[in-house]
Amino acid sequence: MEIQELNNLVFQTRRDILRMVHKVNSGHPGGSLGCTEFLVALYNEIMELKEGAFDMNGANEDLFFLSNGHISPVFYSVLAHRGYFPVAELNTFRLLNSRLQGHPTTHEELPGVRIASGSLGQGLSVGIGAAQAKKLNNDKQLVYTLHGDGELQEGQNWEAIMYAAAKNVDNLIATIDFNGQQIDGSTDHVLNMGDLGAKFTAFGWDVISIEKGNDLPAIINGLKEAKSRTGKGKPICILLHTVMGNGVDFMMHTHAWHGKAPNDEQLAIGLSQNTETIGDY
């Protein structure tokens, strides 16, 4: 896609996020908005995906696992616009009997979703298993994962980080949404994790930092650089420096919108700041 097309899709995805969360007065707009550019770029410019019917096995195509599953609004929007299910289905977000629950699950059999990710800290372990399965099957495609920075306060991540390096899982690219915010405040205030880049390096990973984590060209270049480093004996970590609530001025740079829905007036303001779209559902 051309960069302008991708930008328009970013604007549309932001509108989808705001409208979905507003309709049911429930959901997580802050982190969703912060990762919009990343997931739009990943699914429309970087990942090698099979066209046609979705299957859980995912052989001979790149795989993505969302670990911080509470940012489901952005995930659902990107999947819908990529053609996994009808865009109009976004209108059912968090409703009873919908396939689009607050955290992605698998029993609804929603195309594009391969794991349930309600509980934090588990996605990297799943991604490592999928990456090792690809190696065993001589499948040359890659596995991508996304994690919140606050999520790294959970210990299972560090067991997985140690394991991936020890077992040379070099077909895995794990991205950290490095926005410095979590539900109760800043990550520094809740539990300061120090120098994450140094930690991943010490654990044996190859680390890439994308300083402009809400800039499409920077994200695309960073992801392409990460791909070029796969297959060389080390798992890849991307530290993606994002702004929580990006694209909606009153939601930016604060944890307050981690899990809070906009009211009618706030929705109108947010939509007015994202008008270059491809059409609302």
Q: 3-state DSSP: the chain helix, strand, coil percent, rounded to 5?
A: 45, 10, 45
CB atoms within 10 A of CB 53: 6
CB atoms within 10 A of CB 129: 14
Per-residue model confidence (pLDDT) at position 277: 81
Report the number of distinct structural domains present in the chain: 1
Q: Is residue 279 part of a domain?
A: no
Parent domain of 42? 3-272
Per-residue model confidence (pLDDT) at position 279: 85
Q: Is residue 280 part of a domain?
A: no
The overall pTM is greater than 0.95:
yes
Length of the chain: 281
Per-residue model confidence (pLDDT) at position 146: 98
Nearest alpha-carbon partner for 3 in 31, 36, 35, 40: 40
Q: Is residue 153 part of a domain?
A: yes
Per-residue model confidence (pLDDT) at position 278: 86
Question: Residue-wise pLDDT tens for the chain (281 aa)?
Answer: 899 999 999 999 999 999 999 999 999 999 999 999 999 999 999 999 998 889 999 999 999 999 999 999 999 999 999 999 999 999 999 999 999 999 999 998 999 999 999 899 999 999 999 999 999 999 999 999 999 999 999 999 999 999 999 999 999 999 999 999 999 999 999 999 999 999 999 999 999 999 999 999 999 999 999 999 999 999 999 999 999 999 999 999 999 999 999 999 999 999 999 998 888 98
Per-residue model confidence (pLDDT) at position 188: 94
Q: Is residue 281 part of a domain?
A: no
Per-residue model confidence (pLDDT) at position 174: 98
**CA atoms within a 13 Å half-sphere pointing along the CA-CB vector of 184:** 8
Q: What is the DSSP string of 113-134?
A: --S---STT-HHHHHHHHHHHH
Q: Is residue 205 part of a domain?
A: yes
Q: Is residue 126 part of a domain?
A: yes
Strand partners, 209: 239
> Which residue spans within 138-259 are E strands per DSSP?
143-148, 172-178, 181-182, 185-186, 206-210, 236-241
Per-residue model confidence (pLDDT) at position 139: 98
State the CATH number of the domain containing residue 44: 3.40.50.970
Per-residue model confidence (pLDDT) at position 37: 98
